[in-house]
């Protein structure tokens, strides 16, 4: 575990060159999913609990924000600008971090990417938490451009004499990926404590920097671990291109040679569209709840686990191999999808244990 540059200590040393604001005070939990593993018939299944990061209901973006917002501080920003769809976990985590930092937060809220207009979707879950954390919301029509409206918002604030710092959609950038590589140091040490090195890390992939961070982190600290991103955007080519871009940028920042063949984005588990759960998503959320008391969501982590279950059923791993599922958070969105909760109430009793 210790020693040269191709080790966990090597990754930690490279990450130590970057500033952080200190949103994470301890490694997130790493647990065996005994009952899900038994239900599925192996391999050995572990979960990395990024949903337990202790700010604003947790989630994977906080790990990226720890590094990204340090840049905002160094640039002496007085307002944080970001954006996302109505039920974006990303912007909720930006709002939470900004609140803890004592900075104003303005969010461009995209309407129309997800074709829903029920009051539950518009007002519950992340939409409510954004307001609770004091963010100012600016409704914007979705036009497919994830970042232009954020920069427009920042320009307007600049005209008012403010010093905005733009956190990109999904907190995805080279620096965001560097921040997420820190998850690999924890996974490597926690797996080592349990006496193994993971055969694969599986998670859901959207704006790309989570997977990019896992790729560059494992390239240094867990060279024999596959990183498998489950596309939840129904845009696997776009996801793959973004993962590669951020992984290249993060590699340069960490002084690492990027190997293109480490990018593995798996299609076919996103359901019909972004934000629309399919039957396998509902089943995965139900299984995780009933067997492991994990709260997954209909947009991200539920689809990620649905993808993992499918890969297991296709025989991708033997019973003695170790697979880590990254629970990237997202539970607040569950409270915004009333129809999903109704479907879950129906399927719950049908899951055999
Ligand atoms: C709960 C959750 N999981 C996974 C992801 C995907 O991470 P990334 O956008 O870095 O690919 C997101 C992104 O919004 C998310 O909110």
- Distance (Å, whole) CA 284 – CA 244: 28
- CB of 287 within 6 A of ligand 1: the answer is no
Residue with CA at minimum distance from ligand 1 atom 3: 328
User: What spacing in Å lies between the alpha carbon of 3 and ligand 1's midpoint?
Assistant: 32
- Distance (Å, whole) CA 250 – CA 234: 25
* pLDDT for residue 353: 41
* pLDDT for residue 350: 53
- Distance (Å, whole) CA 164 – CA 78: 6
Indicate the pLDDT class of residue 346, thresholds 50, 70 and 90. confident
- CB of 91 within 6 A of ligand 1: the answer is no
Residue 163 backbone phi and psi in degrees, to 5: -115, 85
- Whether the bond into 43 is cis, omega within 30 of 0: yes
Whether the CB-CB separation of 308 and 301 falls below 8 Å is answered with: no
User: What spacing in Å lies between the alpha carbon of 299 and ligand 1's midpoint?
Assistant: 9
Q: Which of 110, 176, 202, 206 to mutate to test the pocket of ligand 1 (most atoms within 8 A of CB)?
A: 206
- CB of 300 within 6 A of ligand 1: the answer is yes
User: What would the CATH number be for the domain defined by 8-58+174-348?
Assistant: 3.40.50.1100
* pLDDT for residue 4: 57
Indicate the pLDDT class of residue 352, thresholds 50, 70 and 90. very low
- Distance (Å, whole) CA 216 – CA 53: 21
Catalytic residue positions?
Answer: 88
* pLDDT for residue 323: 99
> Is 328 in a helix, a strand, or coil?
coil
- Distance (Å, whole) CA 97 – CA 91: 10
Closest ligand 1 atom to 329 CA: 1
Q: Is the dihedral of CA 74, 75, 76, 82 positive or negative?
A: negative
Question: Which DSSP symbol is given to 107?
Answer: E
What pTM did the predictor assign?
0.97
* pLDDT for residue 22: 95
Say how many C-beta atoms besides its own lie within 10 A of residue 278's C-beta.
Answer: 16
- Distance (Å, whole) CA 43 – CA 318: 6
148-161 mean pLDDT: 98
36-42 mean pLDDT: 95
Name the average pLDDT for the chain: 95
What does the buried/exposed string (b/e) look like for 175-209 if buried means 16 or more CB atoms within 10 Å of the residue's CB? bbbbbbbbbbbbbbbbbeeeeeebbbbbbbbbbbb
Closest ligand 1 atom to 59 CA: 1
- Tell whether the model's pLDDT for residue 293 goes beyond 70: yes
Tokens of 278: 């399919």
pLDDT tens track for 101-137: 999 999 999 999 998 878 999 999 999 999 999 999 9
- CB of 126 within 6 A of ligand 1: the answer is no
Q: What are the start and end residues of each CATH 3.40.50.1100 domain in the chain? A: 8-58+174-348, 61-171
User: What would the CATH number be for the domain defined by 61-171?
Assistant: 3.40.50.1100
User: What spacing in Å lies between the alpha carbon of 309 and ligand 1's midpoint?
Assistant: 19
pLDDT tens track for 74-92: 999 999 999 999 999 999 9
- CB of 208 within 6 A of ligand 1: the answer is yes
* pLDDT for residue 163: 98
C-alpha pair distances (Å), 49 with each of 46, 186, 291, 294: 10, 11, 16, 9
Closest ligand 1 atom to 180 CA: 10
What stretch of H or E contains 139? strand 136-141
Closest ligand 1 atom to 333 CA: 1
What does the buried/exposed string (b/e) look like for 242-267 if buried means 16 or more CB atoms within 10 Å of the residue's CB? bbbbbbbbbbebbebebeeebbbbbe
User: What spacing in Å lies between the alpha carbon of 115 and ligand 1's midpoint?
Assistant: 19
* pLDDT for residue 178: 98
């Amino acid at each position: 575990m210790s020693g040269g540059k191709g080790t966990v200590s090597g990754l930690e040393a490279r990450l130590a060159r970057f500033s952080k604001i200190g949103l994470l005070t301890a490694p997130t939990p790493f647990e065996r999913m005994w009952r899900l593993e038994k239900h599925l018939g192996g391999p050995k299944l572990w979960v990395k609990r990024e949903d337990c990061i202790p700010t604003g209901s947790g989630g994977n973006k906080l790990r990226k924000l720890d590094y990204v917002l340090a840049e905002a501080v160094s640039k002496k920003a007085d307002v944080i600008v970001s954006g996302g769809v109505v039920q974006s976990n990303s912007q909720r985590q930006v709002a939470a971090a900004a609140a803890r930092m004592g900075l104003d937060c303005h969010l461009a809220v995209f309407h129309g990417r997800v074709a829903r207009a029920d009051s539950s979707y518009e007002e519950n879950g992340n939409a409510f938490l954004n307001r609770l954390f004091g963010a100012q919301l600016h409704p914007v029509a979705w036009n497919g451009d994830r970042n232009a409206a954020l920069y427009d918002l920042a320009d307007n604030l600049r005209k008012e004499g403010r010093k905005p710092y733009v956190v990109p959609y999904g907190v995805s950038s080279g620096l965001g990926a560097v921040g997420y590589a820190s998850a690999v140091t924890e996974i490597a040490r926690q797996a080592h404590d349990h006496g193994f090195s993971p055969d694969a890390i599986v998670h859901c992939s959207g704006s790309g920097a989570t997977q990019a961070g896992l790729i560059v982190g494992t390239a240094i600290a867990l060279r024999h671990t596959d990183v498998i991103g489950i596309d939840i955007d129904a845009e696997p080519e776009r996801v793959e291109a973004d993962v590669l871009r951020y992984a290249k940028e993060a590699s340069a920042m960490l002084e690492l040679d990027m190997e293109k063949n480490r990018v593995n984005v798996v299609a076919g588990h996103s359901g019909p569209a972004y934000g629309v759960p399919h039957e396998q998503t509902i089943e995965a959320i139900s299984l995780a709840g009933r067997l492991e008391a994990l709260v997954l969501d209909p947009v991200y982590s539920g689809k990620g686990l649905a993808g993992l279950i499918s890969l297991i059923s296709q025989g991708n791993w033997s019973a003695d191999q170790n697979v880590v599922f990254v629970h990237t958070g997202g539970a607040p969105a569950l409270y915004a999808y009333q129809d999903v909760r109704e479907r879950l109430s129906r399927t719950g009793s049908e899951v055999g244990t």
